[in-house]
Amino acid sequence: MNETQPKNPLHGVTLEKLLNELVAFHGWDALGRKVDIRCFNHDPSIASSLKFLRRTPWARERVEALYIDLLRRGAKQRRNAAEP
């Protein structure tokens, strides 16, 4: 029952942590342009966004894909910075 998922970038990441990192990196305005949903564009908050994303699979999939893209870009930048 204690299975690990080494290839799953979302394993162990809560939706709240994922959303906080996206907001910190992109900001609400850019996030609302990338995923056009009301809870990002009109009076945005973490609480309202979490409530909506937990009930709406298509929106959650888009936000998770955006987070995975953010992780991959960060890993690529770290690799490029490490090269001599």
pLDDT value for 24: 94
Considering all CA atoms of the chain, what is the largest pairwise distance in Å, rounded to the nearest integer? Answer: 47
Per the CB < 8 A criterion, the answer to whether 32 and 40 are in contact is: yes
Q: Say whether pTM exceeds 0.85.
A: no
The per-residue pLDDT for range 12-56, each reduced to its tens digit, is: 899 999 999 999 999 999 999 999 999 999 999 999 999 999 999
Domains and their CATH numbers in the chain: 23-82 (1.10.720.30)
Per the CB < 8 A criterion, the answer to whether 40 and 63 are in contact is: no
